[in-house]
């Protein structure tokens, strides 16, 4: 549904992120060319996996094909 703001609704979306590095419980992802550290995951991930983030927390894993499809849809 979204968050009401001045009588309009806004929706949050996320771009897929790629796991770039995992070291000592720190997970570094890359999203749209920018790297950032995420808090962690309840989902088992490895370097090279594509994930969906919510508030810097990994909430899902997707395929490379799905990631590319999402990115292409958002950039249209």
List pLDDT tens digits, range 19-37. Answer: 999 988 899 999 988 999 9
* Residue spans per domain, the chain: 17-75
CATH architecture of 17-75: Roll (2.30)
Instruction: Assign 3-class secondary structure to the chain.
Output: CCEEECCEEECCCCCCEEEEEEECCEEEEEECCEEEEECCECCCCCCCCEEEEECCEEEEEECHHHHHHHHHHHHC
pLDDT band at 1 (very low <50, low <70, confident <90, very high): low
List pLDDT tens digits, range 35-58. Answer: 999 987 788 999 999 999 988 889
pLDDT band at 14 (very low <50, low <70, confident <90, very high): confident
């Amino acid at each position: 549904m979204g968050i009401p703001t001045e009588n309009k609704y806004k929706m949050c979306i996320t771009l897929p992120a790629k796991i770039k590095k995992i070291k000592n419980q720190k997970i570094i992802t890359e999203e749209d060319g920018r790297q950032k550290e995420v808090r962690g995951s309840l989902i088992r991930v490895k370097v090279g996996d594509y994930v969906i983030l919510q508030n810097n927390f990994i909430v899902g894993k997707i395929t490379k094909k799905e990631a590319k499809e999402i990115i292409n849809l958002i950039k249209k």
